[in-house]
Structure 1
Amino acid sequence: MGHWLYRNIVEPGKLPLLLALAAFVLTFVVTRIITRLIRAGRGPFGNVKAGGLHIHHVVPGIILTVLGGFGAVASGRHGFGAAVFAIVFGVGAGLVLDEFALILHLDDVYWTEQGRKSVEVVVLTAALVGLVLSGFAPFGVNDLSQEELQDRGGVIATVAVNFVFALAVLSKGKTKTALFSVIVPLVGLIGLVRLARPGSPWARRFYRRRPRARARAVLRAYRHDRRWSGPSRRVQDWIGGKPDPGPGPELNRSR
């Protein structure tokens, strides 16, 4: 384990990425715990205000992200400074993406249905960074054996081909599948052979004169959303908290 960690994480300079990912996930978890306690009126926590203005945690998150990003660029991939700035960046990114929905809608939708976007983005970001972190990194590793060169070259070629597939999958309106297909080959192949989402560029281009294909795409999308929307919502509620009832954000101004 120690040899694998050194060869694939430390030597190629991916230790800052590992620290940033750990800080990112931990920050999101702690932030959600605190906001849920505030929402329930429990614990010593409360909203941060300055002169009656509610300071959302995306504000310090942006500051930490900027400091960590520029610091990481200046310090390089190795050394104590790189590790520190990676942690700072991870903490800032966790705070920012926890309120991604607020930035997207320019409104306080933290505890509304629209606020689910924050949880989706955080989970997707952590998964993608984890996949990149667990993959082989041939650059920066010294004294590679012939077998290691072949393995890592195969991974690079696979990722390159998958990237082309990912573009096609993305044109089918399957954003999440396209992102994961860059790393996981099977995901890209499955997304490539399945029907496109209605209204996607692929559907508009290739289903325009194929009414049966359009009808099948609409029916499949309906069945897929009906089957998976419930479990997906329950997982999101478990991770980030259940949204408040009501259509608008005006009832959700307080954490």
Structure 2
Amino acid sequence: MSVSLRGVGLTHANGQVALSGIDLQVSSGERLAIIGPSGAGKTSLLRLLASNLRPTSGEIELLAQQPWQLSARQRQTLRARIGLIHQAPPLPPRQRVVTAVLAGKLGQWSLGKSLLNLLHPVDMQGAQGALARLDLADKLFARCDQLSGGQLQRVGIARVLYQAPELILADEPVSAMDPVLAGHTLSVLNEEVTRRGMTLLASLHAVELAMAHFPRIIGVRDGRILFDLPPDALSSAQLDALYANEQLQTLPVSMPAAQTSLQIPRC
């Protein structure tokens, strides 16, 4: 089991309840998308799974370990087995793309090798291979501040693929890309995850992308899980309840024709 949450709640220091009563089991190698309106708790859930936030109630287990029963050093070792894909990757503007990708393994390398990598890339071929999968091989020596938002997101994905973690947590990983590129990028990510037997949880704004690329969809609203279903089992009523009072846009093409009366948002 990659992820196990039992009755997990999260209340921020200001008293705001971000998550409540979350029960979630994710087996090794599963791929699932998390959808829901803005402020639903999707990012908070991913931050809990990254052990960046400590739950205020319930039990959490990641990769067969309970992160908050570990020492700080042990928890850091656990985090090296988890890959994080950010909506806005935290890449230094003047850093070369090759260095940014190789940084994926800093948590696995010795201090000496990590310092050497800052002076001279220690695995040029590995970085180029990860970038090539995302059509960025020609950007190997570009500076991060020379890239577009979508290119930076793909560099962030390449870094995690190079890291080769057991569990990948992706927070809006394709939000800066046009629909065609976003779909292609998610296809590559899912292919790589499946081939390597990794577990993937991704929060997505675009519902149609979630339904097209993931076999399991979790709907989150007001800090609670409303449904946990395969895409073909989702009804218009469930999506309507998930996005109630949100600005509506066009229904994703993957929904059955009988349900075309509903419109859902890209929150």
Work out whether the TM-score is over 0.5: no
Larger radius of gyration: 1
TM norm structure 2: 0.26
Q: In proportion to residue count, which structure has more strand? A: 2
Q: In proportion to residue count, which structure has more helix? A: 1
Q: Which has the higher contact order (CA 8 A, sep 6+)?
A: 2
